[in-house]
Structure 1
Amino acid sequence: MELDNPSVIAEARAVFDRYEDALMNNRTEILNEIFWADPRTVRFGITEILYGIEAIRGFRASVKAYAQRVQRKVHITSFGQDFACTHLEYERVGTGLIGRETKIMVRLPDLGWRVVSAHVSLLAGQDPGRN
């Protein structure tokens, strides 16, 4: 299996950039399109735990506007021709809060690249479980 094929990384980056543009411009229809339309799709957000595309679409329908953010670091790894992970470190505009986002993407027959799992979180000030 080939790791980090430049053409696969470029394809994953194009999906990543399209998603970011849609997020910053409240283009919910594009955000929904990028996610795999399947009950097995998962999205863990800042305040929500969503299993299945219907739950994800329901959440997105409730959002009036997404928090603006500035990318600090993007890291993409590909595994073979059809699997990639994107990782984003970002700063929320106006708050200085640091966030992280991971997307697992798969190239699906007849659909192209789709996000099958995503996790978004904000960096906590402290970890009360760590001594």
Structure 2
Amino acid sequence: MPELPVDDPAALAEVLESFARYEKALTTNDIAVLDELFHDSPNTVRLGAGEELFGYPAIAEFRRARPASGLARDEVRSQVTVYGDAFAVTSLVFTREGTVGFGRQTQSWVRFADGWRIVAAHVSQRG
């Protein structure tokens, strides 16, 4: 089996752009963009600090019910890695005012016909 290219410059640029759009949408509570960037599928999963969401409808419902304030956060470190031209993993460590410790976020992204979409996400807090 041929080796999969890692961090192809064009694919990496696309994922970095999508990741930045997600971060901006998250901290400004732009639900339309957040909904757009999660793959609309019953197989999409988001595991959060206090919730386990299986399927796009559950994730979208969570977005509409969560508080819209206190969403700002400061990046400590991030890493984006693209495998081939259709799969990527993003990792982010962050701090948030008023919380102790570090937040952690990982996402699996897949390129579909309509662009890069999150198919799995995990968010946790380490005190």
TM-score by length of 2: 0.92
1:10 aligns with 2:13: yes
Unaligned runs of 5+ in 1: 126-131
Identity of aligned residues (%): 41
Alignment correspondent of 1:31 = 34
Superposition misfits of 4+ residues, deviation over 3 angstroms: none
**Counterparts of 2:41 and 2:51 in 1: how far apart (Å)?**
18
CA distance in 1, matches of 2:91, 2:99: 21
**What are the residue-to-residue correspondences of 1:1-131 with 2, within 5 Å?**
1-65=4-68, 67-109=71-113, 111-123=114-126, 125=127
Cα RMSD (Å): 1.1
- Whole-angstrom distance in 1 between the partners of 2:52 and 2:67: 19
How big is each residue's C-alpha offset from its partner over 1:32-71, in whole Å with a ceiling of 9 and x where there is no partner? 1100001000000111000000000111110121532101
Secondary structure at the aligned position of 2:29 is classed as coil
